[in-house]
Amino acid sequence: MTAVLEVNNVTKMFGKFQALNGVKFKLNKGEVLGFIGPNGAGKSTTIRILLGMLKADFGNAKIFGKDVWTDAVDIHKRIAYVPGDVNLWPNLTGGEVIDLFLSMRGVKVNKQRKENLMKRFEFDPTKKCRAYSKGNRQKVALISAFAADADLYILDEPTSGLDPLQERVFQECVQEVKEKGASVLLSSHILSEVERLCDQVAIIRQGSIVEAGSLEDLRHLTRIQINLRTREEASKLVEQDWVHDLTYENGTYIFQLDADHMDDLIRFIQPHGVVKLESAPAKLEDLFMRHYETTEGGV
């Protein structure tokens, strides 16, 4: 698979503060990579390095096989970037700023596509930017990004301030560019946003990648939520080391199961007479929470 974007052991210091520590991941052509981490983890710093606006202290990053620091001009012709906090010209209208952004990218604009995006995002381009809410400023950047083709979209928490319907429109836009073969780097701390869209995820925490892979790859590390009712009591469940956080409520055992021990569970409970067994796939959210626990020396 061709890597469109490659980050190799990137380290960044701000004075004595280490913002990034050996960050490493890659994004393949035609895929969406979720770049996930809590506030302050180093997502925007990584992205500013990718844009060639900050220089890595160690390591390097490549986009389309070119160095992000030395070849920024070539790279920028083929990318679209949306920041999480969009600053605009207060005295220009939204429509004027969208045209300005597009002319700065030097791309051919499809007027119909632009107008269609405005309609879908329910965006009024006639108002001066000083009057726009955060959500509307975000829309200016999103419409500018999606109104013209790019090979790579770099989106840094792009949906802050959008309501759920507009968030849906955003997700459709990502899907559409992906179908055309473009690649997308989507940073977020909103996990549900990522689960639906991403082929791969890289989880960053305190400047380090703590996990990377496909959602399928990562799910095996996690647990399954189980609700179980048996005819005979099965309290020995608590002694199994693949059972966690066991509680008993109204005749139902509620616990988490290590995902690779489902067959052990089935064998164990079968003699107790199973009345009800419900299992829910672990959410990325839970996986993420476990990272907090493990990296802080808990579990």
Ligand X SMILES: Nc1ncnc2c1ncn2[C@@H]1O[C@H](COP(=O)(O)OP(=O)(O)O)[C@@H](O)[C@H]1O
What does the binding site for ligand X look like in residue numbers (CB under 6 A)? 14, 17, 19, 37, 39-45
Closest CB 86 distance from ligand X, rounded Å:
15
* Binding characters for Mg ion, 260-289, by CB under 5 A (x = yes): ------------------------------
The terminus-to-terminus CA distance of the chain in angstroms comes to 36
**Residue number, nearest CB to Mg ion:** 44
Residue placing its CB nearer to Mg ion in the complex, 189 or 291: 189
Least Å from the CB of residue 119 to ligand X? 31
Binder of Mg ion out of 44, 159, 183, 256 (CB under 5 A): 44
Residue bearing tokens 């990522």: 194
Question: From the list Mg ion, ligand X, none, which binds 94 (C-beta under 5 to 8 Å, kind-based)?
Answer: none
For the bound state, the minimum distance from the C-beta of residue 13 to Mg ion, rounded and expressed in Å, comes to 18
Nearer to ligand X, 41 or 287 (CB): 41
40 binds, among Mg ion, ligand X, none (CB under 5 to 8 A by kind): ligand X
Give the nearer residue to ligand X in terms of CB position, either 189 or 229: 189
Choose from Mg ion, ligand X, none: what does 14 bind? Cβ within 5-8 Å by kind: ligand X
- Beta strand extents in the chain (DSSP E only): 3-14, 17-28, 32-36, 58-63, 66-67, 79-82, 152-156, 183-188, 200-205, 208-214, 223-230, 243-249, 252-258, 274-280
Q: Residue 75 CB: number of other CB atoms within 10 A?
A: 22
**b/e for 92-129, b at 16 or more Cβ within 10 A?**
bbbbbbbbebbeebebeeeeeebeebbebbebebeeeb
Q: Name the binder of 39 from ligand X, Mg ion, none, CB < 5-8 A by kind.
A: ligand X
Residues 6+ positions from 206 with CB-CB distance below 8 Å: 21, 41, 42, 295
**Closer CB to Mg ion, 44 or 166, in the complex:** 44
DSSP string, 155-168: EESTTTT--HHHHH
Question: Please, which residues bridge with residue 186 across strands?
Answer: 34, 155
| Site membership for Mg ion, residue 159 (CB under 5 A) | no
Q: Say if residues 145 and 80 touch (Cβ distance below 8 Å).
A: yes
Closest approach of Mg ion to the CB of residue 207, in Å: 13
Minimum distance from residue 51 beta carbon to ligand X (Å): 12
> Applying CB under 5 A, which residues contact Mg ion?
43-44
